[in-house]
């Protein structure tokens, strides 16, 4: 059995060999478009789609076909075919044919397919084989008549050693070799750097395209991927960091080959822009020889190509199995390890029912065709075997087609876009299998219909998976802000009428007056990004607002009960415990901030004079020396206490005041009440609100009702700010104390004392125990123990009870009336005016 290239010698057979970033694929596309027809085989469906889109832009969709195992777009008169290597329709003659990444002929899993294309795929006038420079010796051995063209890399590649994940430069690709590692690294980058795109071989092409687009657009600066990025994906990567140097190749965990490291590291740099590579995470440093090999693109040549016999014997099942085990007859070829399709075939060959059914060549060919169905689902070998057996049964019994109801049932179980990343990826793998079935010729009654259905479902699941990946691994707001903050130039920022702030289209917070309220940050990195955005985007607007605030009138400002100063309804400042104004935030130039602070302080002073005018008047009277003697001492105590003091503490001074001194106090707004010395104007609601705002204490109590004092006891000023006075264990409104005096006087009964009736007590809002406690604390004592209980001041003698008047018919009634009538007052003597003396 010969393995020499078949057919007449091509007009030109050329192998274009060199490292990554040498423009090999670009050259092949240009050469193909220079012919009337052409075909190019690429290693990945994703790459095939990229090249297809590029060719369509040049030639138009009617001239270009896309053929992969899971997708077919074949116009009736297509001249150019972009395919995956496995799906190349070699029965179609074209003027030009190219096969990319031919060094994969040494791959244990797919190598035999690339070897077949290397030996047998030819164009009519030109064939171009693209691959690594390590293929040169093997190409010379297998294709001695081929022309070998070497290509030099456009840019240099340099090793930069080990870096922490958090210190990797922007536009880096981090390469890991398991899904778990990819996810863990992407999570860390999200927390520390804002987010990363994810590219793995298990993702659908649509999802991978969307993730690559995120990276290419600059929305994220990091890409976390498996070694799938080594297969010709064109991305703007400046640095490749290996998170590990070992991988599981399907059989065992082994060290990466130097040429594999070179292939992946070569993704760094683009055209003439230099690239770098290194290690990160737990990966150990590369040794000097390995680094030199990668930097200089000097690797051991590929020794042999994986080979499997393509001239299969379909006379019977044993003959087919034997033909697959045939050994290569040429130097430079080695028998490929048993692939999945071959394993499945051999297991089905042990099934007696299958053996009976494959007596003819067409049935045997159909069996082999079904066995080549890819195992996208990556489930157990038994699961894949059951699927192959089911498909074989459908295609060899009944109507010899896969039933529509079976396809519909399979799709129903997969048509669910809910769930997390792994669940969606599993469903996508199942859909890819159904898509492959829909694209097989003569497997379905209406393949076009099922191709559309499977493609639509794959698109929906791919989009859902893309959204989950973004939600889990990308903080879009932080990523955008960090990228913009790292660049020079102006940010595209805006402040809406309601204060909402956006930077580069991302919501970063709200400007309320001068207060920048940053959007809620989930991580320290996001908080840093928002703070940075505020400094660069919000600070100019704050500076403008500071200028307007400093020039505004008092009507624009408000002091809230909690001590906040508002400007046009937005927060601008707050009162510090020392009574000074503190401007909100840290944004804006310091001189403008100081002018704004002074303006708020001026408003506060003016507002204090408006709201607490009598208290301010007392302070001025003390400072200008108008008050002398006893009034000065009383006013000083009032000012110190905030405008309210206990009358009993100054009773001696009050008795000593002259009528003129009392008039002076009244003119200053001071009232001498029954129990308190106070300023009535300070009990007005607006005065109380202002006094509480400037008091800046945490004590809380109602201003219109009695409440119980709890430790620590509030200061006299804190009580006065609320119109209260401490009376025993209670805080009592001063107005209620004055009303208490009126009620006690109205309830006086001779011989009993002053009575506080239940009705009077309820008017005050006190219960019996509270009323008893307040009266005793005010110096009252009960006059008896039975109802009605009267009260008198401690130290005051009880008045004698008047005797009952005698009955009218009693002989003593006239005497009692005489005693009760008041004695006539003696006539007042008129003072004689002095005689006027007339002086001569």
Q: What is the 8-class DSSP label of residue 237?
A: B
Phi, psi of 514 (to 5 degrees): -100, -5
Q: Is residue 346 situated within a structural domain? A: no
Residue 56 has pLDDT above 70, yes or no: yes
pLDDT at position 819 is: 58
24 and 146 part of one domain: yes
Q: Looking at the DSSP assignment, which residues form a beta bridge with residue 38?
A: 80, 96
How many distinct structural domains can be found in the chain? 5
Q: Is residue 804 situated within a structural domain? A: no
pLDDT at position 590 is: 87
Confidence of residue 822 (pLDDT cuts 50, 70, 90): low
549 and 464 part of one domain: no
- Pick from 360, 321, 313, 326: which is nearest to 341 by CA? 321
Between 789 and 493, the higher pLDDT residue: 789
456 and 481 part of one domain: no
pLDDT at position 1 is: 41
Residue 618 has pLDDT above 50, yes or no: yes
**Domain of 184?**
157-296
Q: Is residue 672 situated within a structural domain? A: yes
Count CA atoms within 13 Å of residue 267 on its CB side.
29
Using only C-alpha atoms, the chain has a radius of gyration, in whole angstroms, of 49
Cβ contacts of 46 within 8 Å, gap of 6 or more:
205, 208, 209, 233
Burial class from Cβ neighbours inside 10 Å (0-12, 13-18, 19+) for residue 653 reads: middle
177 and 131 part of one domain: no
pLDDT at position 59 is: 95
pLDDT at position 488 is: 47
Q: Is residue 101 situated within a structural domain? A: yes
662 and 697 part of one domain: yes
395 and 292 part of one domain: no
Residue 518 has pLDDT above 90, yes or no: no
Cis ω on the peptide bond leading into residue 712 (within 30° of 0)?
A: yes
Q: Looking at the DSSP assignment, which residues form a beta bridge with residue 726?
A: 731
Q: For residue range 567-608, what is the model confidence (pLDDT) as tens digits?
A: 888 888 888 877 788 888 777 788 888 999 999 999 989 988
Confidence of residue 8 (pLDDT cuts 50, 70, 90): very low
Q: What is the 8-class DSSP label of residue 536?
A: I
Give the containing element (helix H, strand E) for 98.
Answer: strand 96-99
Q: What mean pLDDT is predicted for residues 680-699?
A: 85
Q: For residue range 528-565, what is the model confidence (pLDDT) as tens digits?
A: 666 666 666 677 778 888 898 999 999 999 888 888 88
Q: What mean pLDDT is predicted for residues 719-727?
A: 91
Alpha helix (H) residue ranges in 706-766: 716-720, 734-746, 758-764
Q: How far apart are CA 179 and CA 172, in angstroms?
A: 18
- Give the end of a domain, one of 109, 127, 150: 150
pLDDT at position 837 is: 47
Q: Is residue 76 situated within a structural domain? A: yes
Q: What mean pLDDT is predicted for residues 235-263?
A: 88
pLDDT at position 140 is: 95
179 and 291 part of one domain: yes
375 and 466 part of one domain: yes
- Give the end of a domain, one of 150, 175, 193: 150
Q: Is residue 684 situated within a structural domain? A: yes
Residue 807 has pLDDT above 90, yes or no: no
Question: What pTM did the predictor assign?
Answer: 0.62
* 3-class DSSP state of 770: helix
pLDDT at position 117 is: 96
- Give the end of a domain, one of 279, 296, 313: 296
429 and 359 part of one domain: yes
540 and 641 part of one domain: no
Give the containing element (helix H, strand E) for 508.
Answer: strand 506-512
Q: For residue range 145-178, what is the model confidence (pLDDT) as tens digits?
A: 999 999 888 788 999 999 998 889 989 999 999 8
What tokens does 284 get? 């150990």
First to last CA, the chain: 173
Q: Is residue 528 situated within a structural domain? A: yes
**Is the separation of the CB atoms in 603 and 575 below 8 Å?**
no
pLDDT at position 449 is: 94
446 and 505 part of one domain: no
- For residue 171, give the CATH number of its domain: 3.40.50.300
Between 647 and 270, the higher pLDDT residue: 647
Calculate the dihedral angle through the C-alpha atoms of 717, 719, 725, 731, rounding to the nearest 10 degrees.
-150
25 and 136 part of one domain: yes
Cis ω on the peptide bond leading into residue 788 (within 30° of 0)?
A: yes
Residue 280 has pLDDT above 90, yes or no: yes
Describe the strand order of the beta sheet including 730-733 as a list of residue ranges.
Answer: 707-708, 730-733, 724-727
Between 774 and 832, the higher pLDDT residue: 774
Q: Is residue 358 situated within a structural domain? A: yes
């Amino acid at each position: 059995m010969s393995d020499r290239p078949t057919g007449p010698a091509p007009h030109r057979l050329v192998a274009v060999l060199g490292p990554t970033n040498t423009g090999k694929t670009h050259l092949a596309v240009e050469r193909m478009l220079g012919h009337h027809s052409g075909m190019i085989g690429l290693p990945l469906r994703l790459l095939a789609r990229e090249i297809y889109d590029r060719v369509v832009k040049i030639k138009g969709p009617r001239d270009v076909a896309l053929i992969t195992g899971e997708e077919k777009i074949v116009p009736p008169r297509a001249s150019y075919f972009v395919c995956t290597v496995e799906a190349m329709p070699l029965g179609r003659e074209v003027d030009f044919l190219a096969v990319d990444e031919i060094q994969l002929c040494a791959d244990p899993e797919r190598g035999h397919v690339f070897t077949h294309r290397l030996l047998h795929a030819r164009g009519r006038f030109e064939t171009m084989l693209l691959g690594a420079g390590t293929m040169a010796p093997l190409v010379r051995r297998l294709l001695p008549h081929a022309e070998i063209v070497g290509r030099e890399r456009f840019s240099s590649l340099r090793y930069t050693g080990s870096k922490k994940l958090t210190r990797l430069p922007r536009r880096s690709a981090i390469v890991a070799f398991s899904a778990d590692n990819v996810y863990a690294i992407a999570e860390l980058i999200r927390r520390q750097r804002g987010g990363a795109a994810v590219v793995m071989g298990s993702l659908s092409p649509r999802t991978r395209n969307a993730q690559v687009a995120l990276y290419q657009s600059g929305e994220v600066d990091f890409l976390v991927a498996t070694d799938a990025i080594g297969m010709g994906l064109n991305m703007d990567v400046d640095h490749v960091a290996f998170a590990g140097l070992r991988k599981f190749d399907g059989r065992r965990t082994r060290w990466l080959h130097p040429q594999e490291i070179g292939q992946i590291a070569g993704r760094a740099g683009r055209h003439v822009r230099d690239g770098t590579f290194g290690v990160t995470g737990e990966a150990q440093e590369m040794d000097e020889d390995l680094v030199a090999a990668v930097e200089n693109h000097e690797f051991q040549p590929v020794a042999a190509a994986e080979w499997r016999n393509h001239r299969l014997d379909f006379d019977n099942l044993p003959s087919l199995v034997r033909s697959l085990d045939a050994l290569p007859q040429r130097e430079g070829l080695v028998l490929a390890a048993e692939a999945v399709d071959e394993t499945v075939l051999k297991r089905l060959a042990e099934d007696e029912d299958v053996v009976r059914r494959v007596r003819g060549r067409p049935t045997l060919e159909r069996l082999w065709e079904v066995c080549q169905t890819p195992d996208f689902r990556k489930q157990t070998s038994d699961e894949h075997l059951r699927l192959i057996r089911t498909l074989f049964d459908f295609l060899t019994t009944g109507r010899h087609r896969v039933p529509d109801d079976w396809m519909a049932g399979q799709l129903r179980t997969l048509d669910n876009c809910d769930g997390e990343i792994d669940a969606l990826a599993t469903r996508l793998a199942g859909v890819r299998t159904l898509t492959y079935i829909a694209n097989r010729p003569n497997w379905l009654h209406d393949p076009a219909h099922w191709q559309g259905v499977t493609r639509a479902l794959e698109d929906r699941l791919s989009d859902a998976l893309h959204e989950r990946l973004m939600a889990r691994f990308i903080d879009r707001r932080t990523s955008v802000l960090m990228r913009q903050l790292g660049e020079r130039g102006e940010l595209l920022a805006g402040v809406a009428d309601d204060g909402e702030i956006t930077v580069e289209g991302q919501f970063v917070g709200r400007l309320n007056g001068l207060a920048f309220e940053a959007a809620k940050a989930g991580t320290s990195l996001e908080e840093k990004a928002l703070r940075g955005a505020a400094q660069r985007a919000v600070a100019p607007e704050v500076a403008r607002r500071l200028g307007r605030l400093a020039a505004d009138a008092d009507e624009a400002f408000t002091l809230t009960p909690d001590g906040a100063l508002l400007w046009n309804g937005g927060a601008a400042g707050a009162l510090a415990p020392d009574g000074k104004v503190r401007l909100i935030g840290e944004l804006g130039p310091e001189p403008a901030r100081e002018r704004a602070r002074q303006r708020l302080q001026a408003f506060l002073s003016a507002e204090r004079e408006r709201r607490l005018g009598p208290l301010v008047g007392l302070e001025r009277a003390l400072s200008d020396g108008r008050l002398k003697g006893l009034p000065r001492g009383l006013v000083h105590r009032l000012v110190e206490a905030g405008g309210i003091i206990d009358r009993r503490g100054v009773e001696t001074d009050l008795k000593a005041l002259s009528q003129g001194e009392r008039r002076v106090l009244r003119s200053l707004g001071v009232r001498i009440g029954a129990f308190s010395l106070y300023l009535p104007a300070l009990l007005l609601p607006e005065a109380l609100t202002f006094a509480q705002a400037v008091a800046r204490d945490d004590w809380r109590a109602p201003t219109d009702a009695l409440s119980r004092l709890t430790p620590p006891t509030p200061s006299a000023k804190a009580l006065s700010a609320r119109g209260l006075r401490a009376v025993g264990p209670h805080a009592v409104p001063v107005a209620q104390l004055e009303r208490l005096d009126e009620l006690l006087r109205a309830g006086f009964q001779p011989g009993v004392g002053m009575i506080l009736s239940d009705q009077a007590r309820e008017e005050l809002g006190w219960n019996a125990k509270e009323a008893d406690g307040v009266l005793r604390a005010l110096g009252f004592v009960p006059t008896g123990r039975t109802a009605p209980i009267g009260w008198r001041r401690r130290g005051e003698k009880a008045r004698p009870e008047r005797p009952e008047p005698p009955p009218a018919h009693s002989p003593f009634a006239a005497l009692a009336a005489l005693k009760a009538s008041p004695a006539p007052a003696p006539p007042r003597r008129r003072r004689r005016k002095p005689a006027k003396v007339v002086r001569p």
